[in-house]
């Protein structure tokens, strides 16, 4: 056999060149935790995929919250969710967010709270969880109510002008307006002094103010505040001013 046959790809010495004895046998047992080719074979601290909230409803149910989104948010509306159709096309992606109706034409999406970010619920989640939109709606509102029960409010006054705001930084402040108990609280605090104005400029802020009869300047200042904060936000919701009338959110008309 010639040198080319026993050599490497370039004709040089091959791996067995001049070897006249077998390779040495290791004198110590192989470490089962050692990396193989630079990669660990096991990840003992990695979460089990089936128990992650994206895959397991029991893990996700306590982490889902509603989020207000601007008018016209695109997605799969809750009334159009057909679970039989989702199952029939389970091999396809269903990445569109699940979208619900909010007050005054606003949209609602549902989010799984994670560390530093949110995962927006979509059709693929419904398939993994094997639950319908009603279960998601109920869990989200229950979680929001539980958080809101202890979330702070900030009260301010300037003469006869009263303001009440929620700006906790938790990410659910504007969405609090969906809760009847929150609307009732705002009405009790501000209603006796005048018309109750509501601003939902961005995700992290719910602001309410009491406008007395004849104080149209306050209404104009309130609108400017809402527009400014919405325009400067990374997650704006709406630049309109709303009003609480009989516990219902409606668009404000001066």
User: Where do the structural domains in the chain lie, given as residue ranges?
Assistant: 49-146, 154-251
CB within 8 A of 113, min separation 6: which ones? 63, 64, 65, 171
Alpha carbons 140 and 132: distance in angstroms, whole number: 13
Cα–Cα distance for residue pair 173/68, rounded to 1 Å: 10
Integer Cα distance of 5 and 194 in angstroms: 97
Please give the Cα distance from 93 to 252 (Å, whole number): 41
What average pLDDT does the chain have?
84
If residue 134 lies in a helix (H) or strand (E), which one and from where to where? Answer: helix 133-148
Q: How many angstroms separate the CA atoms of 107 and 96, rounded?
A: 14
Confidence of residue 18 (pLDDT cuts 50, 70, 90): very low
**Model-level pTM greater than 0.85?**
no
The distance from CA 167 to its chain's CA centroid, rounded to whole angstroms, is 17
Burial state string for 224-247 with b = 16 or more CB within 10 A and e = fewer than 16: ebbeebbeeeeebbbbbbbbbeee
Question: Does 19 have pLDDT greater than 50?
Answer: no
Q: Which residues contact 229 (CB under 8 A, 6 or more apart)?
A: 199, 201, 202, 205
Q: pLDDT tens, 177-217? A: 999 999 999 999 999 989 999 999 999 999 999 999 999 99
């Amino acid at each position: 056999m010639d040198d080319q046959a026993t050599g490497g790809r370039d004709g040089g010495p091959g791996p067995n060149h001049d070897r006249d004895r077998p390779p040495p046998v290791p004198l110590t047992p192989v470490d089962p935790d050692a990396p193989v080719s630079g990669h660990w074979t096991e990840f003992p601290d990695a979460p089990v995929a089936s128990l992650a909230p994206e895959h397991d409803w029991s893990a996700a149910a306590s982490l889902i919250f509603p989020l207000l989104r601007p008018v016209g948010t695109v997605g799969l509306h809750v009334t159009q969710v057909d679970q039989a159709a989702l199952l029939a096309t389970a091999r396809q992606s269903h990445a569109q967010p699940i979208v619900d109706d909010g007050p005054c034409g606003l949209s609602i999406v549902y989010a799984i709270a994670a560390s530093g970010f949110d995962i927006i619920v979509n059709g693929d989640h419904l398939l993994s969880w094997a639950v319908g939109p009603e279960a998601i709606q109920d869990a989200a509102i229950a979680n929001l109510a539980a958080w809101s029960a202890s979330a702070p409010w900030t009260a301010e006054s300037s003469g006869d002008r009263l303001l009440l705001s929620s700006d906790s930084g938790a990410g659910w402040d504007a969405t609090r307006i969906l809760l009847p108990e929150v609307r009732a609280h705002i009405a009790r605090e501000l209603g006796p002094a005048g018309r109750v104005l509501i601003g939902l400029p961005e995700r992290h802020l719910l602001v309410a103010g009491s406008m007395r009869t004849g104080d149209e300047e306050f209404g104009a200042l309130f609108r400017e505040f809402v527009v400014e904060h919405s325009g400067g936000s990374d997650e704006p919701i709406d630049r309109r001013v709303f009003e609480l009338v009989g516990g219902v959110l409606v668009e404000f008309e001066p």
